């Protein structure tokens, strides 16, 4: 017990010593230029200008799945992912698989209410949905999945024409 107390006191001393020299940090106006450039990398959501398609999300005796599993849309279309059964569900794109020039726009198009980069919020109840715009997304095929059910094969692709 005496050792633990000594360790705590020593840790507090070390942390206190790391507190710095007492000088104030530079004012925000003196921040590095790279910090000012960061917001432009985030992308701005692009509105759906075409058709909104629906993909339903299931978890039942047939397994965990998106229906349809693979979908083709035009640039400007949107996809409404609707929770039907067996949740919770979400829609996620693997950031490592999305081209670097597409990632900021796709992430922005997923809306502000996300769990993480390229990952929608978790849908907890039937009939909840998330709609993703594919406006300003270059043609290509993009794999998506449901994070909680990925190991059960709940994945699909969207092909943007």
Q: Report the range of poorest mean pLDDT among 11-15, 54-58, 63-67.
A: 11-15
* Homologous superfamily assigned to 52-160: Cupredoxins -  blue copper proteins (2.60.40.420)
Identify the band that residue 61 occupies on the pLDDT scale cut at 50, 70 and 90: very high
Both tokens assigned to 84 = 């039907």
Q: What is the pLDDT of residue 31?
A: 37
Do 52 and 80 touch, CB atoms closer than 8 A?
yes
Strand locations in the chain, DSSP E? 52-60, 63-67, 70-73, 78-83, 114-116, 119-120, 129-133, 140-145, 155-160
Beta-ladder partners of 63: 60
Q: State the average pLDDT for the chain.
A: 82
Cα distance between residue 143 and residue 154, in whole Å:
11
Calculate the dihedral angle through the C-alpha atoms of 28, 29, 34, 37, rounding to the nearest 10 degrees.
100
**Three-class SS of residue 151?**
helix
Q: What is the pLDDT of residue 42?
A: 59
**Average pLDDT, stretch 76-94?**
97
* pLDDT for residue 119 is more than 50: yes
- Answer with the residue of higher pLDDT: 5 or 148: 148
* pLDDT for residue 100 is more than 60: yes
Cα distance between residue 158 and residue 141, in whole Å:
6
The CA angle 84-58-46, to the nearest 5 degrees, is: 70
Tens digits of per-residue pLDDT, 146-158?
999 999 999 999 9
Identify the band that residue 91 occupies on the pLDDT scale cut at 50, 70 and 90: very high
Integer-rounded Cα radius of gyration of the chain: 22
| Cα dihedral across residues 97, 75, 118, 91: positive or negative | negative
Tens digits of per-residue pLDDT, 14-60?
334 444 444 443 443 333 333 333 333 457 999 999 999 999 999 99
Parallel, antiparallel, or unpaired for β 70-73 and 140-145? unpaired
């Amino acid at each position: 017990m005496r050792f633990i107390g000594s360790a705590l006191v020593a840790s507090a001393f070390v942390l206190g010593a790391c507190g710095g020299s007492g000088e104030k940090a530079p004012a925000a106006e003196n921040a590095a230029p790279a910090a000012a450039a960061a917001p432009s990398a985030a992308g701005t959501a692009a509105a759906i200008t075409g058709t909104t398609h629906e993909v339903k999300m299931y978890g039942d005796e047939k397994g965990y799945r998106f229906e349809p599993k693979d979908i083709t849309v035009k640039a400007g279309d949107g996809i409404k992912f609707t929770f039907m059964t067996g949740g919770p569900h979400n829609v996620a794109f693997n950031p490592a698989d999305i081209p670097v020039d597409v990632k900021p726009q796709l992430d922005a198009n997923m809306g502000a209410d996300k769990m993480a980069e390229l990952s929608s919020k978790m849908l907890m109840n039937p009939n909840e949905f998330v709609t993703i715009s594919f406006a300003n997304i270059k043609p290509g095929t993009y794999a998506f999945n449901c994070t909680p059910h990925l190991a059960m094969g709940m994945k699909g692709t969207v092909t943007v024409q």
